[in-house]
């Protein structure tokens, strides 16, 4: 992380939690995560719990995010939830998670459309990109991520590009307990910044997260990297102790980086 770019720790609950569990988890986060942080924190419950969880989060420092939205404005699309509907409750929307790309066959066009709708409705997209294992083994990881970025971001205004959050999530690291190494994640975060810079903005302002088997033990290794500004946390975000420990690690590292910058100035 770098002073001046506010880190973001986002918890993706995926299709987990009962109603009672969702409320208890949100309450736990509010109790354990102080309001005065230099770090942004978001939780992404399933759609059905967004409204009740929004009430639990009122007055706290924790923002609400959705895991997805429809690729079109309101209209005849049975079962979908539009960005317009999410906007009163959510600050962030995850777009293009690999589970949606691979298991639910979401294509580049849908991802690009969702990204624009999230911006149109005043929210911040967290765009997920990442290669599969065979692609990494074939030395194609950089190429795959570059193509995903271009397909989603081409034509976005520099202002929107600068406000975007991008999560690098190698597919083979998600939910496997086998994270990328901090050095590999850093290399990809630098590539992501370079691609976004080519697309027309100063990549310096962009926030890039790492995701894939992040937990309280390994988080600091990623967060200490200069091009990485936070984490998208799946499994460990369902455990209040783990999630709040990751937030604390981010806060400590950010304060350390800010103190260092002050000393050097
Ligand atoms: P994980 O999931 O932390 O459980 O690996 C990360 C994600 O899919 O966002």
Residue 105 designated active-site: no
Per-residue pLDDT of 131-157, as tens digits, reads 999 999 999 999 999 999 999 999 999
Is 1 among the domain residues?
Answer: no
Residue 117 lies in a domain: yes
List, in order, residues 6 or more apart from 97 with CB less than 8 Å away: 12, 67, 68, 128, 169
Residue 170 CB less than 6 A away from ligand 1? no
| Burial of 55 from C-beta contacts in 10 A (0-12 / 13-18 / 19+) | exposed
Ligand 1 pocket test: pick from 169, 176, 210 the residue with the most ligand atoms within 8 Å of its Cβ.
169
Active site residue 169: yes
Q: Which atom of ligand 1 sits closest to the CA of residue 237?
A: 3
Given 99, 106, 131, 169, the catalytic residue = 169
pLDDT at 215: 98
Q: Give residue 144's Cα distance to chain centre.
A: 19
Provide the H-helix boundaries in 199-232. Answer: 219-223
The parent domain of residue 223 ranges over: 8-264
State the CATH number of the domain containing residue 26: 3.20.20.70
Domain total in the chain: 1
Cβ(191) to ligand 1 under 6 A? no
* Residue owning tokens 């777009």: 95
Is 95 a domain residue?
Answer: yes
pLDDT digits (tens, 9 = 90+) for 42-89: 999 999 999 999 999 999 999 999 999 999 999 999 999 999 999 999
- Please report whether residue 254 resides in a domain: yes
- pLDDT bucket at 201, cuts 50 / 70 / 90: confident
> pTM score, two decimals?
0.97
Which entry of 44, 97, 106, 131 is annotated as an active-site residue?
97
Task: Check pLDDT > 90 for residue 203.
Answer: no
């Amino acid at each position: 992380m770098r002073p001046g770019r506010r880190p973001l720790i986002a918890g993706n609950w995926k299709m987990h939690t009962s109603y009672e569990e969702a409320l208890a988890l949100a309450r736990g986060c509010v109790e354990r995560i102080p309001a005065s942080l230099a770090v942004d924190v978001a939780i992404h419950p399933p759609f059905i719990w967004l409204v009740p969880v929004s009430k639990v989060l009122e007055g706290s420092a924790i923002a609400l995010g959705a895991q997805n939205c429809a690729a079109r404005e309101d209209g005849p699309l049975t079962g979908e939830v539009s960005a317009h509907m999410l906007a009163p409750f959510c600050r962030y929307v995850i777009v293009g998670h690999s589970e949606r790309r691979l298991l639910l066959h979401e294509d580049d066009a849908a991802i690009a459309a969702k990204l624009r709708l999230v911006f149109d409705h005043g929210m911040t997209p967290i765009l997920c990109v990442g290669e599969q294992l065979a692609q990494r083994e074939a030395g194609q990881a950089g190429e795959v991520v570059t193509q995903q970025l271009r397909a989603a971001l081409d034509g976005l205004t520099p202002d929107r590009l600068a406000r975007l959050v991008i999560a690098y999530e190698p597919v083979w690291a998600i939910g496997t307990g086998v994270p990328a190494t901090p050095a590999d994640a850093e290399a990809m975060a630098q590539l992501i910044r370079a691609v976004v810079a080519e697309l027309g903005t100063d990549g310096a302002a962009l926030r890039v997260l790492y995701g894939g088997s992040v937990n309280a033990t390994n988080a600091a290794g990623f967060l200490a990297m200069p091009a990485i500004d936070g984490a998208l946390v799946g499994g460990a975000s369902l455990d209040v102790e783990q999630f709040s420990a990751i937030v604390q690690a981010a806060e400590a590292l950010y304060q350390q980086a800010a103190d260092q910058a002050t000393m050097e100035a």
